[in-house]
Amino acid sequence: MPLFSAELPASLPPIRRFRAHEIAEWAGDAEHIVFDFGKVLIDIEPRLSGEAFHALGARPSFTVGELGYQKHNAYQAIETGAISPAEFRQAFRQHLRCAALDSSIDAAWNALLLDLQPWLIGPLHRLGKDYHLHVLSNTNRIHIDEVKRRLGLRAYAEFTRCFQNVFYSYELGLRKPDPSIYQTVDRLVGIKDPSRVFFLDDNAA
């Protein structure tokens, strides 16, 4: 039985239109709400990273999923912490046979990150009065370091205090949709009944 269950409307509204009462209506009698990060708490546009990598010499059809490093798929490996940011950058250089600077690769990789929605803080605090809130996201250290840089450490800390737990795939060593990541969160949070968990994600869990 999957850890998280969700019954979402057929078409999710844009992130800017999420409201606490809507999420509560979807969550129903759940005790826990688990949020994804990208496209739920922060706007992202992967096309922008593709364009930035193209500017560094990648062909127009290039995707980060093509990157290999030793025996790893570099994209999946950086999201599970199996390779470091330095190794991820090296995978990019080897793939394109270029000598791009770390800062240039990071800027291209971070181009997909748009804005964290500041208006979310209020709704999250309201939801936190009735639900246990958590974050579970496939992500990597380069992206999270960039989010911290843009927000500032104080604002980032204020944001994360809205949640009882913030789980990033690169820290857990697992990524969705591997069932083990849900089982790990189940154990760490102490969830006994998966039916009481509502997972708000841009993809099916």
The mean-pLDDT minimum among 72-76, 104-108, 110-114 falls in 72-76
Question: Tokens 């843009």 label which residue?
Answer: 150
User: Is residue 10 a part of any domain in this protein?
Assistant: no
Check residue 6 and give its pLDDT: 41
Check residue 50 and give its pLDDT: 87
Task: Tell me, yes or no, whether 36 and 121 share the same domain.
Answer: yes
Task: Tell me, yes or no, whether 121 and 188 share the same domain.
Answer: yes
Check residue 34 and give its pLDDT: 94
What is the rounded average pLDDT of the residues 60-67? 71
Task: Tell me, yes or no, whether 122 and 25 share the same domain.
Answer: yes
The residue range of the domain holding 65 is 46-110
Residue 12 pLDDT level (bands cut at 50, 70, 90): very low
For residue 177, say if its preceding peptide bond is cis, omega within 30 degrees of 0: yes
What is the rounded average pLDDT of the residues 84-102? 88
Using the predicted structure, report yes or no on whether residue 1 has a pLDDT greater than 50: no
Check residue 32 and give its pLDDT: 95
User: Which residues contact residue 164 at a Cβ distance below 8 angstroms, ignoring those fewer than 6 apart?
Assistant: 132, 133, 134, 189
Model pTM score = 0.86
Show the CA angle centred on residue 83, arms to residues 97 and 107, nearest 5°.
Answer: 55
In eight-state DSSP terms, residue 112 is: T
Task: Tell me, yes or no, whether 85 and 183 share the same domain.
Answer: no
